[in-house]
Structure 1
Amino acid sequence: MRSEPPVVRAGLAVLPLVPAAVLAAFVSAGWAPLRALDRVVADRLHEVAHAVPALTTAMVWVTNVFQPTVFRVAVLALVIWLARRGQRRAAIWAAVTMIAGGVLGGLLKLLFGRARPDFLDPVAAAVGYAFPSGHALNSALAVTIVVMLFGNRWLWWSIPLLTALSRVYLGVHWTSDVVAGLLLGVAVPLLTARAFTRTRAAEPAGQR
């Protein structure tokens, strides 16, 4: 495991932000093709949710197990573990990243004020605005932090993907909501790691 936040190239750090920004612009403008795609996917999955109760129950479990609070607590435990091992800078980076991502997600929800999908016979309910998905964002944040500190394990990425799928399947988010959440969840750790790297490089050698 690395004892410092990973070094990230500037180009890599902003890469996920480009599609996220484009998606946000389309949502803000109410771009008809995106709205149509979101609606079609939502309607089809809603039909499946009613037709396959067992799968719907499984998705409810997934969305409850992988809720934002779970990932926040997991990262808090990681921060405490890192600090106790003397890896203070990595601990601070992980904490700052999780907090920054959560704040960003909340602000964007208020900024866009996007309504969630509505159905006459919903299979699940959620409160608050839709864009971006907090479940998708927080799961991607936590997994990206773990991957950047411990090294890539492709199985880890199944967690945010499954979490995002559960939100659309249950009809509480549009597809574009969860895609934006996943992109931002990857982008924020890359950006904070870049910032920490630049700060580290600017420090006098005796303070490192």
Structure 2
Amino acid sequence: MSSSGPDTLASDRPSWQRRRLDPDHSLGLRLTLAVAAAFLVLVPFSLLALLVLGAWAPLHRLDMSVTDALHGYALDHPAWVVVMRVWSEVFAPMPLRVAALLLVIWLLRRKARRLAAWTATTMVVGGLMGPLLKLLVGRDRPELLDPVARAAGYSFPSGHALNATLAAGVLLLVFLPYAGRGVRRVVLWVVAVLLTVVTGLSRVALGVHFASDVVGGWLLGAAVVAATAAAFTSWRAHVGLRPVRPARDGIAPEVERHPDAT
């Protein structure tokens, strides 16, 4: 005579370790992705923010040495300053937000409503976090005797670096399905990396941010993209769409062929 008591029923249930990554148990999957995203947000960025708040001497010395070196180069090379100013203005937060808005409109015209919502959410959430954290940290910008550029407001994290990272992440995850596997994919990655790196470096080169401000913006932007992409991937599992690897496939590869799919 077989037994079907509570112990037997409990043994038939997947363990928590299995449920937390099982697409058939969407709550466990969502919780796991949320914890992973929170880890990305809290650990590297929070550590850097604490070092900035505590005025950690080694970080301050490193920031000042980078700032002094780049400022000296800028004073000796006016053309370099012009290039950095133009880049910094073209890829400032507001132009990137306008570009994101145009992308949202394009996605809506293709009936990719959820992908459009993800794009808007990523840019808005990251865009709101930047000014809030500037106020909370309250770090002053570099003070230079002969500045080549000026900027208002607090310094940490860099809004330019943050928004460039958000825009680059959106660019990659939306357009990877269109890039194929050849040269276009390489070009897309190069454009995203250049947008992120050069925009951040331009702010240090102009003497309006410390290097740690820019790194903080990069970390926060990457964390926001990771968190919203995790939420979108969780939704895909919930509605039964095939699993994807965002860094390889984008987050909605079916949109490229079937715009109504998401």
Distance 2:136 2:148 in 1: 27
1:91 CA displacement: 0.3
1:159 CA displacement: 1.1
1:77 CA displacement: 0.5
Q: Which residue of 1 aligns with 2:102?
A: 77
Counterpart residue identity of residue 175, structure 1:
A
* Equivalent of residue 216 in structure 2, options 180, 188, 192: 180
1:31-73 superposed Cα distances (whole Å, 9 cap, x missing partner): 1100110011001111001011111111111111111011100
1:198 CA displacement: 3.1
Distance 1:68 1:62 in 2: 12
Distance 1:98 1:154 in 2: 19
Counterpart residue identity of residue 90, structure 2:
V
Secondary structure of 1:177's aligned partner: helix
Runs of 4+ off more than 4 Å: 199-205
Q: Which residue of 2 aligns with 1:96?
A: 121
- Superposition map of 1:50-69 within 5 A: 50-69=75-94
Q: Which residue of 2 aligns with 1:140?
A: 165
Q: Which residue of 2 aligns with 1:110?
A: 135
Distance 1:59 1:95 in 2: 28
Q: Which moved more, 1:193-202 or 1:157-166?
A: 193-202
Counterpart residue identity of residue 55, structure 2:
G
Distance 1:159 1:196 in 2: 24
Distance 2:37 2:170 in 1: 13
> Aligned residues, how many?
200
CA RMSD after TM alignment: 2.3
Secondary structure of 1:129's aligned partner: coil
Distance 1:56 1:184 in 2: 27
Q: Quick one: structure 1 residues 204 and 48, their matched pair in 2 at CA, closer, same or farther if it must change by over 3 Å?
A: closer
* Equivalent of residue 160 in structure 1, options 180, 192, 196: 196
Distance 1:66 1:15 in 2: 29
* Equivalent of residue 49 in structure 2, options 11, 19, 24: 24
1:67-105 superposed Cα distances (whole Å, 9 cap, x missing partner): 101110011001111011010000001001100000000
Q: Which residue of 1 aligns with 2:5?
A: none
1:201 CA displacement: 4.5
Q: Which runs of 5+ in 2 are unaligned?
A: 1-28, 177-184, 242-261
Quick check: 2:130–2:159 contact (8 Å CA) kept in 1?
A: yes
Distance 2:131 2:237 in 1: 31
1:104-142 superposed Cα distances (whole Å, 9 cap, x missing partner): 001100000100000111100000000000001001101
Q: Which residue of 1 aligns with 2:67?
A: 42
Quick check: 2:172–2:189 contact (8 Å CA) kept in 1?
A: no
- Superposition map of 1:114-125 within 5 A: 114-125=139-150
Distance 1:55 1:122 in 2: 14
Counterpart residue identity of residue 230, structure 2:
R
1:136-183 superposed Cα distances (whole Å, 9 cap, x missing partner): 100110110110122263212111100111100000000000011011
Distance 1:54 1:130 in 2: 25
Q: Which runs of 5+ in 1 are unaligned?
A: 1-6
Matched-pair identity in %: 50
Q: Which residue of 2 aligns with 1:4?
A: none
Q: Which moved more, 1:100-109 or 1:19-28?
A: 19-28
Higher RCO (CA 8 Å, separation ≥ 6 residues):
1
Distance 2:140 2:193 in 1: 28
Distance 2:196 2:40 in 1: 15
1:195 CA displacement: 2.1
Q: Determine which structure has more spread, i.e. the larger CA radius of gyration.
A: 2
